Amino acid sequence: MKFRSLGFSLIELMVTLAIMGIAITLALPSLSATFTQSSVNSGTRALSKDLIYARGMAISNQLPVVVCHLSGTTCSDDNWKEGYTIFLDNNGDGEYDSATESKLRINEDFTYGTLSISNGANEVVFNAAGQVNTSVIFTYCPNIEKTYARGVVINQMGRAKMTQDYDGDSLDESSPSNNDSHLTCT
């Protein structure tokens, strides 16, 4: 009587598991980098969409729309890392009044990184024509790998544009005409 093997031997199973373990160990760092990059891209896309929305609301309502980190009723300085609020500023004073003004959007989802703004501004105000008083650059820096920084540039016309890598060095620049305009995280 001959015995036929219908399954795997213990040695075959252990060798297969060892090979799988090695493959997973080699793949994890690249998966982590992909996850970080995906989170940063998602955060900057959400910011870009919110800024386009804020500009559109300013134009359609013919009223100023403020984007800032709201602490109580005032825009607080340099706390963008805690998120931002978009509100319709009916009286144009740059402060939120819950009785007469409405919050349009709130974004506090910066779990994987921090948000900062160039020139130390504590708010961005879109006027009734959709313009801003000064151009700004928002930079979203991941907590883990600072080289994955992404950003959104708002020109004086109020148009938002995501940054990209113009010179091929895997670092985003804020301007296509200036290859030294890399986004930096502090």
- The per-residue b/e assignment along 109-142, b for 16 or more CB within 10 angstroms, e otherwise, is ebebbbbbbbeebbbbbbbeebbbeebbbbbbbb
Count CB atoms within 10 A of the CB of residue 148. Answer: 23
Q: Are 135 and 153 in contact (CB under 8 A)?
A: yes
The torsion angle over the Cα atoms of residues 151, 80, 129 and 155, rounded to 10 degrees, is: -30
pLDDT at 98 over 90: no
Would the pLDDT of 112 be above 90?
A: no
Q: What is the CA radius of gyration of the chain?
A: 24
Please report whether residue 8 resides in a domain.
no
User: Tokens standing for 6?
Assistant: 């219908």
- What pLDDT score does 5 carry? 67
| pTM score of the predicted model | 0.80
**Has residue 186 been placed in a domain?**
no
In a domain, 96, yes or no: yes
**Domain assignment present for 13:** no
- Tell whether the model's pLDDT for residue 54 goes beyond 90: yes
In the predicted structure, residue 91 carries a pLDDT above the cut 80: yes
> 117 pLDDT exceeds 90?
no
114 within some domain: yes
d(CA 50, CA 160): 10
Domain assignment of residue 66, given as a range: 36-162
Query: Does 153 fall in a domain?
Result: yes
CATH number of the domain at 79, please.
3.55.40.10
pLDDT of residue 167: 83
Residue 78 confidence (pLDDT): 64
User: What pLDDT, in 10s, does the model give residues 6-32?
Assistant: 777 888 889 999 999 888 888 777 777
Report the pLDDT value the prediction gives residue 66, as an integer from 0 to 100. 93
pLDDT digits (tens, 9 = 90+) for 164-180: 888 888 788 888 777 77
What per-residue confidence (pLDDT) applies to 131?
Answer: 95
Number of domains the chain is built from: 1
Q: CA 163 from chain center: how many Å?
A: 11
Whole-angstrom Cα distance, residue 176 to residue 163?
Answer: 9
How far apart CA 174 and CA 176 sit, in angstroms, is 7
In three-state secondary structure terms, 83 is coil
Domain assignment present for residue 11? The answer is no
pLDDT grade, residue 37 (50/70/90)? confident
Residue 42 domain-assigned (yes or no): yes
Cα–Cα dist 43/99, whole Å: 31
Distance CA 154, CA 161 (A): 7
Residue type at position 179:
N
Q: Which is more confident, 95 or 110?
A: 95
- pLDDT over threshold 70, residue 1: no
